[in-house]
Chain A
Amino acid sequence: MNGRRYLEIRNDSTPVDTTGIPVLDYSLFREEVTAMLNRDDCHCLNYFCHPVGAGLRFICCIADDSSGLIRIFSHEKGDDDSALQSLTPSCSAMHIFEREIHERHGVRFEGHPWLKPVRYPSYRADKLSVMNNYPFYTMAGEALHEVGVGPVHAGVIEPGHFRFTCNGEEVLHLEIQLGYQHRGVESLFTETGDGLRRVLLSESIAGDTAVGHGLAHAQLVESLAGFNPPGSLQVERCIALELERIAVHIGDTAALCTDVAYQLGQVACEALRTMVINTTQFWCGNRFGKGLIRPGGSNYPLTEEITVEILRVLEEVERRFGNIVSCIYTLPSVLGRFEETGTLTRQQALAVGAVGMAARTCGIPRDTRATHPFQYYRQTVINPVLQERGDVMSRGMLRAMEVNESVNIIRGLTGEWSKMKKETERPRYELGFRPGSLAVSVVEGWRGEICHVAVTGINGRLVHYRIKDPSLHNWMALALAVRNQEISDFPVCNKSFNLSYCGNDL
């Protein structure tokens, strides 16, 4: 295709020179990106801008699932106050990225229907934009009432405000306002020169995805340093990622049962989740896999003893989870709660740019392990698990099926691993980065696609670091899924998506 309009890279390949990315005129950029995003097999990985001189440089990474390529588009804008024609009216999935850019840099997007704050970072352009004056969408009517939930919630969870507009028990509209945490994660990455500190930061982006984000970061750093991880290390990382997926999926199944008051399913799944996370602890000393993923090597190389333990536990977990799942998803009272509750249509999922589980439950095969393989997945056959109906039931079933799939993947991987030469070395935190480059790293965490992007300056230091958790898109999917549902079904819908607050509040 036209090589002058964009650059093509693969996930986890060599970084590109920032000067080599063709800079398009905005109208051409808009045309190209719109055309690309209107294809079902393409979605935006990240769209952001960073200051270059006095102006701003915009980078848009679009993943093409059919060819496994990531296309990088770019345009620039001077420091004038001119507005840009918004992309959102033609491809609504871009809304969140434009909101982010607007919030951070004050760029005006003309025609954006929903230009609201995303996360209130300390470096936001408009300091007057604060929580208290968030512009909620309102509806007026005799029979309507509003219910505000949060930011302090009954369970010990993170802060977030949910504003429902209801007609009696029926939800007409839900608006989710996040941004209570102001962590400044992205700027911490560029402020520190310490490699270890960055790794620890990456593991803390979202506590439930320590391995996923840790891997995305390690992969990115290695890519910038031109380090190619040995096969045994790649396999170890994939096993860790799958263990995390199994543990969280089983934990979520327990939580789904809790929300519909099905005690048996809850306690059985909770016990199984503990078995899985304890196995991760047996491996690396931390139940959530913190400390396991490091750039350049590992502090906890896999051993024969650990693989035997993992396989033994998974054998039992698979059998017991199979039993309880067949109990849960055949019980009439549970089916009554799950089926046709919180339905997200395929159209809606595409429109909000849903990724990961949320997309796969609507029949969209977005699984970067298969489409943009990384680490040892490049040598592994991955069949994305799909569900078609997009309701709570589908999201529950998807989890059950993915657990089985992950157990099989781990069995295959340990088989490969035992035949391999063990070349895993100690971690390397002082890797030097290629100067003037842009690198993209995509990982399929349990929740969905995690994308880290880094830009280095001419001295090889990180000048820009962008993190995209799958929750960023998927929160909107949740808001759409609860429309015309009973408000009492919101908790179970919310749990079925299980999105991250801190993954959004970077």
Chain B
Amino acid sequence: MTGFILIVIAALFFPGIILRTKSIASGRKGPGLFQPLKDIAVLLRKGSVFSISTGLIFRIAPSVALISVAGAMLLLPFSEHKAILHFEGDFIMFAYLLALGKFFMIIAALDTGSSFEGMGASREALYSMLVEPAFFILLATFAMFSSYTSFSVIFNHFYITGNDYVFIYSIIGAYLFVQIAMVENSRLPVDDPKTHLELTMVHEVIILDYSGFDKALIHMATNLKFALYGSLIYNLLVPAGWNTLLKIGAFFGVQTLFAVIIGITESFRARNKMNKNPKFILTLTTIALIAFMVILILTEKLV
């Protein structure tokens, strides 16, 4: 339960920190930390407009996306505090809950019948598909490492396995989770969330037809998803044995750092060329694969 609440709190200020970092990096003062939340509040009070060419799928997709993220949050522990739901192999459930939300957003985009949204849907589907192996191989590495297959137990046992290489694995894991989160949340260098150019959009274009309340749901899901990945990173980096207050501080520290890293990345580099994106994403899989091979050797499962 603690994990769930902390993620919700972190999601409140996460987009504000990204925005603020980018503002400061570009020499501006920037809006207040809670401006993105206020924007969502405004959207929540508005009605939605639906195109006549859309159907049921288009209307339910934002709710499904939000619920799927909330569902995934139920599976994440906070150090030794176990998740609300935990069972063997729950990380597969986690990955496919997020995938379900994305799947609905993609078919909703196709539902609009717009050529822009069709292109965006095809790009989004491709990148999600490519990033999936990276996630699973990384999780398999951790499962190997701790000999458990549930998030709650993996992270609990991470630092007490006594393995000398735990620190390296935490770092590689954190790096990959940051990158996977960037791909999954459609941020630089794979996608540019700020662009107004439909032809270069990936995620933005598939939510182009949403307005008002539904758009607020999508934004909420995105913010929660960021904090969700931030929580994964925290669990990797901070040993469960620390004092609770210190851990809560560390949790928000990790979330803030994560947001700042995203902000800085987006300030000082350009987006990838579209056809370079698959290569970029496959690199993540490769790194995960190397980590996996090494753990196989270390645990003497591979001669």
A residues with CB within 8 A of B? 145-149, 154-155, 169, 257, 259-264, 266-267, 271, 331, 333-334, 336-337, 341, 486-492
Are B271 and A260 within 8 A (Cβ)?
yes
| In contact, B198 and A154 (Cβ under 8 angstroms) | yes
B25 part of interface (Cβ distance < 8 Å): yes
Given contacts A261-B195, A490-B199, contact A148 B115 (CB under 8 A): yes
Question: How many angstroms between the C-alpha atoms of A331 and B272 in the bound complex?
Answer: 12
Beta-carbon contact of B197 and A154 below 8 Å: yes
With both chains docked as a complex, state the minimum distance between the C-beta of A267 and any C-beta of chain B, in angstroms. 4
User: Are A261 and B115 in contact, with the CB atoms below 8 A?
Assistant: no
Nearest 9 pairs between A and B by C-beta?
Answer: A261-B192, A260-B270, A333-B270, A267-B26, A262-B270, A491-B197, A261-B271, A488-B274, A154-B196
Checking B26, B27, B199, B268 against A488 with a beta-carbon cut-off of 8 angstroms, the contacting residue is B199
- A336 (CB) vs chain B CBs: closest residue: B273
Q: Which residue of A lies closest to B27 (CB)?
A: A267
Contacts of B267 in A (CB 8 A): 263-264
- Bound complex: CA A222 to CA B243 (Å): 85
Flag if A264 contacts B200 (CB, 8 Å). no
Interface string of B246-287 (1 = CB under 8 A from A): 000000000000000000001111111111100000000000
Q: Tell whether, in the assembled complex, residue A267 and residue B115 are in contact, meaning their CB atoms are under 8 Å apart.
A: no
State whether B115 touches A333 (Cβ < 8 A). Answer: no
Distance in angstroms between the alpha carbons of A260 and B266 in the assembled complex: 11
B45 interface residue per 8 A CB criterion: no
Supply 12 A–B pairs (Cβ within 8 Å), ascending by A: A147-B119, A148-B115, A149-B199, A154-B197, A154-B198, A261-B188, A266-B26, A267-B27, A333-B272, A337-B273, A488-B273, A488-B274
| Residue B219 lies at the interface, judged by CB distance under 8 Å to chain A | no
Q: Which of B111-135 contact A (CB under 8 A)?
A: 115-116, 118-119
The answer to whether B115 touches A145 (Cβ under 8 A) is: yes
Q: How far is the CA of A234 from the CA of B87 in the complex (A)?
A: 83
Inter-subunit contact A261/B194 (CB<8 Å): yes
Cβ contact within 8 Å between A486 and B273: yes
In whole Å, how far is B297's beta carbon from the nearest beta carbon of chain A?
Answer: 34
B225 sits at the interface (CB 8 A): no
Q: Does B189 touch A at the CB level, under 8 Å?
A: yes
B197 touches A263 (CB 8 A): no
A95 to B188, alpha carbons, bound, how many Å?
42
Partner of B271, one of A149, A333, A341, A490: A333
Of B22, B189, B266, B269, most buried by chain A (CB within 10 Å of CB) is B269
Cβ proximity bits B11-49 to A, threshold 8 Å, 1 near / 0 not: 000000000001001111000000000000000000000
Cross-chain contact B269 with A331 (CB below 8 angstroms): yes
Smallest beta-carbon distance A152→chain B, Å = 11
Tell whether, in the assembled complex, residue A486 and residue B274 are in contact, meaning their CB atoms are under 8 Å apart: yes
- Tell me, in angstroms, the Cα distance from A430 to B271 when the chains sit together: 55
Beta-carbon contact of B197 and A334 below 8 Å: no
- Nearest residue (CB) in B for A154 is B196
CB neighbours of A266 from chain B (8 A): 26
CA distance A54 to B53 in the complex (A): 54
- A147-B199, A267-B28, A487-B119 given. 7 additional CB < 8 A pairs? A147-B116, A154-B197, A259-B200, A333-B270, A337-B271, A486-B274, A487-B199
